[in-house]
Amino acid sequence: MSHAATLPAPRRFVLPHRLRAWTRRSPLAAAGVLLLAAFALLAVLAPLIMPYDPVAADAAAVLQAPSQAHWFGTDANGMDVFSRVIFGTLYAFAIALPAVALAILVGVPVGLVTGYLGGWTDEVLMRFFDALRVFPSIILALAVVSAAGASVVNVVLVLGLLDAPVFARLVRSEVLALRSGSLVECAVATGNPVWRILLVHLMPNTLQGTLAQAAVRASWAVRLSTTFAFLGLGIQPPTPEWGAMIRQGAEYMVTGQWWIGVFPGIALILLSLALNMTGDGLADLLDPRRRSAG
């Protein structure tokens, strides 16, 4: 008696299926991820893509308009704007990513502790963070950077510390909602110490909002760091940083050399849009309430 062979059911690849569903639900967010991936690829492959040295001056090629030899034209020093825009992507990521990481490392623990313990701990820490948020961020950041010195490290430290209250407030609100729930009550009843309740039971439930907010705050860090450079307090020329390039381009805009400032400005706008759309997409993907509504 012959038995027909039973073929195993084909495996369902869950990740591609979820990615397709997410793309259909939020096309703008998917476009943001693709655009952000393109910028990240530019940053990684910058030494291979750049046709010229981004800081090599050429007196014979000063203020040349976009052409086949120089796609984005040249600046007042004869430097290739296309190569400088590509290399500027490295500085954008080198400032935004560490700044957001520092803000998370400072803000998330503070939000966990203040939200769970409450009392004087909550009052003292959150009032201090509120004072940082009440004072205009850009003015405070400009004052600190000008006093500490214009360097990448100082810019990262200032941006990270100024943005920590955002994550602290976000995590604190999540912890306040969870503190009186059955999850924490069961953890306390079984004898878990405070540190374990914070790290094992509460922190994983706050990561959804933190990850989504991280992309949005990275966009803020990129914009503010370029503002520093535009005002002359950030990374200094001839380093190929977008804000410094826009500042130089503004001086020549009235004489018709528009390409010096326009192309780094477009790069800044696109990267900011990519980060904001990615943050919105992460909120859709990670938040079960928004996922079920989609």
Chain centroid offset of residue 57 CA: 32
Query: In the predicted model, what is the mean pLDDT of residues 107-116?
Result: 90
Both structure tokens of 106: 């400072």
Query: In the predicted model, what is the mean pLDDT of residues 167-194?
Result: 83
The domains located in the chain, with CATH, are 93-293 (1.10.3720.10)
* Sequence-ordered list of residues with C-beta below 8 angstroms from that of 202, at least 6 positions apart, any chain: 112, 115, 116, 174, 175, 178, 184
The rounded distance, in Å, linking the Cα atoms of 91 and 185 is: 46
pLDDT of 81 over the 70 cut: yes
DSSP secondary structure string, 38-80? HHHHHHHHHHHH-SS-TT---GGGTTPPS-SSSTT-B-TT--B
> Helix or strand or coil: residue 240?
coil
Summarised one tens digit per residue, pLDDT across range 139-152 is 777 787 777 777 77
Both structure tokens of 102: 């520092």
The rounded distance, in Å, linking the Cα atoms of 80 and 66 is: 10
Summarised one tens digit per residue, pLDDT across range 53-73 is 999 888 888 899 999 989 999
Helices and strands (DSSP H and E) totals, the chain: 12, 0
The rounded distance, in Å, linking the Cα atoms of 221 and 98 is: 10
Summarised one tens digit per residue, pLDDT across range 251-284 is 898 888 999 999 999 999 999 999 988 888 777 6
CB-based contact 31:23 (threshold 8 Å) = no
The rounded distance, in Å, linking the Cα atoms of 217 and 166 is: 9
Mean predicted lDDT score pLDDT of the chain: 83
For 286, counting Cβ atoms within 10 Å of its Cβ (0-12 exposed, 13-18 middle, 19+ buried), the class is middle
- Predicted local confidence at residue 181, as pLDDT: 76
Name the more confident of 34 and 133. 34
* Sequence-ordered list of residues with C-beta below 8 angstroms from that of 189, at least 6 positions apart, any chain: none
- Predicted local confidence at residue 99, as pLDDT: 93
CB-based contact 70:34 (threshold 8 Å) = no
* Sequence-ordered list of residues with C-beta below 8 angstroms from that of 192, at least 6 positions apart, any chain: 200, 201
